[in-house]
Amino acid sequence: MSHDVFDPTPEYLAFWRERHVCTLTTPRPDGTPHVVPVGVTYDPGAGLARVISNRHSKKVRNVLTAPDGAARVAVCQMEGRRWATLEGRAVVRTDEASVADAVARYAERYGRTPSPNPDRVVLEITLDRAMGRA
């Protein structure tokens, strides 16, 4: 089932506000998928999803080595018969304001503030597709 990235149904948005471990799929340089568990926040007003990470992680390197430093990625979560996937182009944000905003959004969704990390960056995903059954 397809959803409007900027105007999802209330049920779909509520599902993305619940606390769930998600997966992030990034393309490796050879084109194969790299799938890892992550925390994701969804901002339909901006059409963005965000994943905080360490700048030295494989997922960050995969995005940075993609053409133009942007990679086609997907984030997904599921619980029972409910599932939701967001797709788009990810870039790495390193500026303090972007990182602080992403950490605050993570803390709101997951109920805990991550420990300080000077190597923290944000994978910011400009969304163009949303699908799922929530």
DSSP-derived secondary structure for 38-100: E--EEETTTTEEEEEEETTSHHHHHHHTSGGG-EEEEEEEEETTEEEEEEEEEEEE-SHHHHH
CB atoms within 10 A of CB 11: 13
The stretches in the chain having pLDDT less than 70 are none
Fill in the amino acid letter for 5.
V
Q: Which pTM was predicted?
A: 0.96
> What pLDDT shows up at residue 84?
98
Mean pLDDT across the chain: 97
Q: In this structure, what are the phi and psi dihedrals at residue 61, rounded to the nearest 5 degrees? A: -60, -40
For the stretch 79-114, pLDDT in tens is: 999 999 999 999 999 999 999 999 999 999 999 999
CA dist 133 and 125 (Å) reads 21
